[in-house]
Chain A
Amino acid sequence: MRYIMELATAFLGSLGFAMLFHVRSQKLLLASLGGLLAWGIYLLMGLVTDQDVVRYFVSSVVLTVYAESLARIVKCPATLFIVTAAVPLIPGGSLYHTMEYFMRNDLAACSAQGLTTVLLAVAIAVGILFPTSIFQLVQRIGIFAKKSHK
């Protein structure tokens, strides 16, 4: 029940952000499904490992592959799908708790929570960059292959 609630709100949250960034028509649905996918993968990875960093990493790899492939199918910038689908992964709660501990003068908890926030952000960043670079590489190889045929 808890999982269904999380998936539904991940979908709605991504939908909200897609609308906030003025995304239109069918892309609105595709972008929100990306958010659902991202959180779904995160939950599924929970069966394999309880390392949050690994779960965030795999989830953002999958969502980037989803976004880059869609960008080529519907012919629009991949950023549109990445930005909206990555929203449920943003460690906003963790960031808030970091600052909360800081205000309570609990510096030990603050630094531990802060480190978690940073590590999660790094996991997401690397997870997004890794497939993007591979997609770019494949595209470049494709261009070279075309040129050498001429």
Chain B
Amino acid sequence: METNNQTLPPDYAARLTVMAEAEQANEYLFQILEIGQHMLQCGGEVSRVEDSIRRMCIAYGAERADVFSITSSIVVTIHAHRFGSLTQTRRISGQQYDLHRLELLNHLSRRLCTERLSLEDTERALDAILSAPQYSFGVQLMTYALISASFSLFFGGSVLDAAASGIIGVVLKYLDRMIRKTEANAFLSALLCSCLGGLLSGLAVRTGLGDNMDMISIGNIMLLIPGIALTNSLRDMFSGNTLAGLMRFIEALLLAMTIAFGFALVAGLM
């Protein structure tokens, strides 16, 4: 009886190795994208992410790597003459700025290029970075108070204004955490935060804790304004990623206006 082997093409074994190679390349590409995704999420510029991904792909033997990224998506196609092209895409949602993590990821991507770590080592290193401790919630509350109070004083408020602004900053952090849990849209969350901030600063002035409503509000506005998004978008636009930069720029601009509008709206009504 004829076996199935005879119907198989003569280059069967060679094809199998090619398939295995392609599969392995896919796994590596997945890890590289994982690094790229986290870089974007913790506040890296699009140009940095594209550049890092391309370098890593080339370091692992891709003959050509075409990377396109915007803030919310990454597309990578790698080419190698052994197995042709491979493409993976990633949708990115949710950002949590962590510049320390960005620094570690940047370092990891350089290590990948020079030492060509194995899959397991990469995964272990990435896990270690992602589980590294962040500042605790208590420290974050203090940070919010510190920023609000500093900028209230900075723009010419009194000490009483700074105290009121600091307390409102802490309340806003709690509100922010509650809103984050519901995964509401960024604009709604900004509007809610700024309206509550405006309302509380009005109340603070009425009850005697604080002298100038606008000085209290400005401290809180500085806290909420998406400064990192604005700076990154400008850097992106001028490094050739006009589209990615423009998208983030408009988003940040709308957000900043929403925030100022929320505060001024309440101030106008009171």
- Decide whether A and B assemble into one complex: yes
Q: Which residues of A contact B (CB under 8 A)?
A: 5-6, 9-10, 12-13, 15-24, 75-77, 79-80, 82-84, 86-88, 90, 92-93, 95-100, 102-104, 121, 125, 128-129, 132-133, 136
A77:B48 contact, CB within 8 angstroms: yes
Main secondary structure of the interface of A (DSSP, over half): helix
Residues of B within 8 A of A79 (CB): 43-45, 48, 99, 102, 231-232, 235
Take A12-B150, A95-B221, A96-B221 as given contacts and tell me if A80 and B102 are in contact as well, using a CB distance cutoff of 8 Å: yes
| C-alpha gap A104/B102 in the complex (Å) | 43
Inter-chain contact B239/A136, CB cutoff 8 Å: yes
Question: What would 25 A/B residue contacts be, using CB atoms closer than 8 Å?
Answer: A9-B151, A13-B147, A13-B151, A15-B146, A19-B140, A21-B97, A21-B98, A21-B228, A22-B99, A22-B135, A23-B99, A80-B99, A83-B231, A86-B227, A88-B154, A90-B227, A96-B263, A96-B264, A98-B260, A99-B260, A99-B264, A100-B268, A103-B264, A128-B234, A136-B239
Nearest residue in B to A125 (C-beta to C-beta)?
B234
Assembled-state Cα–Cα distance A23/B100 (Å) = 5
* B225 pairs with A92, CB closer than 8 A: yes
Contacts of A99 in B (CB 8 A): 257, 260-261, 263-264
Q: Which residues of chain B are within 8 angstroms of A100 by Cβ–Cβ distance?
A: 214, 264, 267-268
- Closest CB-CB distance, A57 to chain B, in whole Å? 14
Report the separation of the CA atoms of residues A102 and B147 in the bound assembly, to the nearest whole angstrom. Answer: 26
**Chain B nearest CB: distance from A55 CB in Å?**
16
- Most chain A beta-carbon contacts within 10 A, residue among B99, B100, B143, B146: B99
Closest Cβ–Cβ distance, residue B104 to chain A (whole Å): 9
Q: For B45, what are the chain A residues with a Cβ–Cβ distance below 8 Å?
A: 79
Query: Nearest Cβ in chain B — how far from A90, in angstroms?
Result: 5
A19 closest partner in B (C-beta): B143
- Please give, as numbers and ranges, the residues of chain A lying within 8 Å of B48 by CB-CB distance: 77, 79
Q: CA of A12 to CA of B165 in the docked complex: distance in angstroms? A: 15
| Interface residue count on the B side (C-beta < 8 Å) | 50
Please tell me which one of the listed residues A12, A17, A22, A75 contacts residue B98 in the complex, with CB atoms under 8 A apart: A22
Q: Cβ of B71 < 8 Å from any Cβ of A?
A: no
Q: Chain B residues near A104 (CB, 8 Å)?
A: 268
A120 → chain B closest CB, angstroms: 12
- B234 CB, nearest partner CB in chain A, Å: 5
Task: Collect the chain A residues with CB atoms within 8 Å of residue B44's CB.
Answer: 77, 79
Q: Which residue of B lies closest to A105 (CB)?
A: B268
CA–CA, A83 to B234, complex, Å? 12
Q: A19-B146, A76-B106 are in contact. List 18 more A-B contacts (CB 8 A).
A: A5-B153, A9-B153, A13-B222, A17-B147, A19-B135, A21-B97, A22-B98, A22-B134, A23-B99, A82-B235, A83-B231, A90-B230, A92-B151, A92-B221, A95-B225, A95-B256, A96-B260, A99-B260
Q: Determine how close the nearest CB of chain A comes to the CB of B258; give it in whole angstroms.
A: 10
Which 3 A-B residue pairings sit nearest by Cβ, starting from the closest? Answer: A103-B268, A16-B147, A99-B264
Contact, CB under 8 Å: B267 / A103: yes
- A22, B100: Cβ atoms closer than 8 Å: yes
The interface residues of chain A lying within 8 Å CB-to-CB of B147 are 13, 16-17, 20
Q: How far is the CA of A121 from the CA of B128 in the complex (A)?
A: 38
- Docked CA distance A84–B222 (Å): 12
Q: Please give, as numbers and ranges, the residues of chain A lying within 8 Å of B106 by CB-CB distance.
A: 76-77
Shortest CB-to-CB span from B179 to chain A, Å, is 17
* B50-100 residues at the A interface, CB under 8 angstroms: 97-100
Q: How far is the CA of A20 from the CA of B43 in the complex (A)?
A: 12
Residue from A23, A79, A90, A121 having most chain B Cβ neighbours under 10 A: A79
Closest to A129 in B: B238
